[in-house]
């Protein structure tokens, strides 16, 4: 029996206990423990390849752990019928819309396949969810006609259609422009306040994480490094966490600027600098007029001559 959207809407809790997972010889998760409280927004951050998405797939039941267990409201995720008991939805990084169906059919797929509403009601719900994510006019379009951001928003609409008790987001803002990222972040917050859904977000978007999270977990090489509120994570004295949170792009200007130009440009710069330097030297010595008349040089010659003459006299005197 399916858990219909009209039934229990309370967010669910998740306990992850000692999860381990190997893919061949590669150990991806090395004993992950964490707890997500009902109705909170929990963000898992970490570098690429740290095991974030794999952990997410374990929680929704797409992967089976080699060791450890995952509990949804205290029941193992491997229990028969758990997917029917608790409504959970995953927003894939790519959207994962079914390419053979229209956007509207994709969004209404859960209700259609489980026969939870009449076709007329499904049509209304689909229109409402698409409007909520700003895709009202895309109902009859095919996924191939949508941009990356629109696909992601359609995937969120598809997740919302079941009024889920938990939504898992896999990199919800990747490939999105800053404005769309803000809309997605606001949507995640709005869902928490409106229906009390538990949200588990995997992301390395620091703005999103610190903007929406109640708590953040930092994962690296298959292990949880720290779990805490955004402020606690910011204060956490771990070099990797700090480097991750403070990483910024540095432009190296001078040496690169000269080296990246063509030979001709570099020659031009050299000539201009040389002329400039020559002018400076000449001005220091007394100006161009002095140079033309050779005043300083003739004075120098006179001095040398006098010294020579003086020296000869002294020698002759001896």
What are the beta bridge partners of residue 170?
202
Does 26 contact another protein by CB under 8 A? no
Shortest distance, position 189 Cβ to another protein, whole Å: 22
Of 13-21, 40-48, 105-113, 252-260, which segment contacts another protein by CB under 8 A?
105-113
Strands lying side by side in the sheet with 88-91: 88-91, 166-170, 198-202, 41-45, 215-220, 223-228
Does 142 contact another protein by CB under 8 A? no
29, 89, 138, 200: which one binds another protein (CB under 8 A):
89
Whole-angstrom distance, CA of residue 233 vs CA of residue 213: 11
> Binding string, 37-76, against another protein, x = CB under 8 A?
--------------------x--xxx--------------
Shortest distance, position 233 Cβ to another protein, whole Å: 28
Strands lying side by side in the sheet with 75-76: 26-36, 14-23, 67-72, 75-76
Does 250 contact another protein by CB under 8 A? no
CA-based nearest residue to 295, from 305, 304, 286: 286
Does 84 contact another protein by CB under 8 A? yes
Are 261 and 270 in contact by the 8 Å Cβ rule? The answer is no
Binding residues for another protein restricted to 147-186, rule: CB under 8 A = 162
What is residue 225's DSSP assignment? E
CA distances from 152 to 60, 119, 146, 179, 274 (A): 19, 25, 9, 14, 58
Shortest distance, position 253 Cβ to another protein, whole Å: 40
Shortest distance, position 185 Cβ to another protein, whole Å: 22
CB nearer to another protein: pick between 113 and 252 = 113
| Interface ranges with another protein (CB under 8 A) | 2, 57, 60-62, 83-84, 88-90, 92, 94, 96-100, 109-110, 113-115, 162
């Amino acid at each position: 029996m399916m858990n219909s959207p009209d039934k229990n809407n309370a967010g669910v809790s998740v306990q992850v206990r000692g999860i381990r997972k190997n893919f061949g010889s590669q150990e991806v998760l090395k004993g992950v423990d964490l707890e997500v409280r009902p109705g909170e927004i929990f963000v898992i951050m970490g570098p690429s390849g740290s095991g974030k998405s794999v952990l997410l797939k374990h929680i929704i039941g797409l992967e089976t752990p080699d060791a450890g267990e995952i509990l949804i409201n205290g029941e193992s995720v491997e229990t028969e019928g758990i997917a029917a008991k608790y409504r959970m939805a995953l927003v894939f990084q790519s959207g994962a819309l079914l390419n053979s169906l229209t956007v509207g059919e994709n969004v209404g797929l859960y209700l259609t396949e489980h026969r939870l509403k009449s076709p007329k009601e499904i049509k209304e719900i689909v229109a409402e969810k698409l409007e909520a994510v700003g895709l009202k006019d895309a109902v009859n379009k095919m996924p191939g006609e949508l941009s990356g951001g629109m696909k992601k928003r359609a995937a969120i609409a598809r997740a919302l259609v079941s009024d889920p008790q938990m939504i898992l987001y896999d990199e919800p803002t990747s490939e999105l422009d800053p404005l769309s990222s803000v809309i997605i972040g606001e949507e995640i917050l709005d869902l928490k306040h409106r229906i009390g859904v538990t949200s588990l977000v995997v992301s390395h978007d620091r703005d999103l994480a610190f903007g929406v999270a109640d708590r953040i977990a930092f994962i690296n090489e298959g292990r949880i490094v720290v779990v805490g509120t955004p402020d606690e994570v910011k204060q956490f004295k771990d070099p990797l966490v700090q480097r991750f949170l403070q990483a910024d792009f540095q432009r190296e200007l001078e040496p690169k600027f000269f080296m990246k130009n063509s030979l001709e440009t570099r020659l031009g710069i050299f000539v201009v600098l040389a002329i400039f330097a020559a002018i400076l030297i000449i001005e220091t010595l007394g100006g161009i007029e002095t140079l033309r008349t050779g005043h300083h040089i003739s004075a120098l010659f006179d001095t040398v001559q006098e010294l020579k003459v003086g020296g000869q006299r002294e020698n002759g005197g001896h």
